[in-house]
Structure 1
């Protein structure tokens, strides 16, 4: 399941990035060559960057490629490291539930009926990025917890 989610997320983020590069080039072309700037490109790029950031950060978290302060965690005795990892994941899950899922749902509900000015896109699609990334973060966090238990069990069997 993880591989499927990873592949789909990587494909979507890479595809969105490629589209954003082409749209940015189009915006520069229309502004400086045609002297008639595109009206939708700036808004599209702004909203795409939000989606790219939210989904991409969940993907990076899932791959453990995010910024982490591990200096202090490495100094803790091995027998307490599982507790520290679980504590960190509990804090992450709390953030995910409160900010991304609960807050994202509230923002989504508040945006219903609003429309973006240039594209005419319903604004709830923008705030849906919070909920989607929250679900991805939660999925990856649960997998991290499972991985920590498996690793801890393997280390216990070695001793």
Structure 2
């Protein structure tokens, strides 16, 4: 399980990093084209906005893998260990359900719906850019299952950070 988590995390870090580097390069190109060449680049602006969405969703999957999603620890920390474990598992189940329903099911639906619509500057089907939703939903679901296994085995965030 740890090996799977490490592979997924390395892959997501690489994809998010590549996306960020591409955004920086494309944004620099936009500025150069607009102010030096006096010919704005519309395709790069559109691509940057899609890459930003991809990087955001990939980053959200990374956070899910680290169990870093939003929580209110002040309440949970006052409970006994069994209740903390139960709430941790419940939180992961909610994240799993959200990923399955909204990201995977909804992402597939919107991707299919948008395949007939083309982007204005790139000339690519919009649905291609929406494919990241079900992809990240599946990654989130894998991570939540791994997180539940960690919680059941008593692996806390503090123990994960030490390892």
Give the TM-score normalised by the residue count of structure 2: 0.88
Q: Which residue of 1 aligns with 2:71?
A: 68
Please report how far the alpha carbon of residue 69 of structure 1 lies from its aligned counterpart in structure 2 after TM superposition.
2.0
Please report how far the alpha carbon of residue 35 of structure 1 lies from its aligned counterpart in structure 2 after TM superposition.
1.3
Structure 2: gaps (5+ residues): 156-163
- Report if the CA contact (8 A) 2:67-2:147 is conserved: no
- Report if the CA contact (8 A) 1:101-1:131 is conserved: yes
Q: Give the 4+ runs in structure 1 shifted more than 3 A.
A: none
Please report how far the alpha carbon of residue 65 of structure 1 lies from its aligned counterpart in structure 2 after TM superposition.
3.5
Residue 40 of structure 1: SS of its match in structure 2?
helix
Match of 2:112 among 87, 101, 109: 109
Please report how far the alpha carbon of residue 72 of structure 1 lies from its aligned counterpart in structure 2 after TM superposition.
1.2
Q: Which residue of 2 aligns with 1:132?
A: 135
- Report if the CA contact (8 A) 2:100-2:138 is conserved: no
- Report if the CA contact (8 A) 2:61-2:136 is conserved: yes
Q: Which residue of 2 aligns with 1:156?
A: none
Give the TM-score normalised by the residue count of structure 1: 0.90
Question: What is the 5 A alignment of 1:19-30?
Answer: 19-30=22-33
Please report how far the alpha carbon of residue 79 of structure 1 lies from its aligned counterpart in structure 2 after TM superposition.
2.1
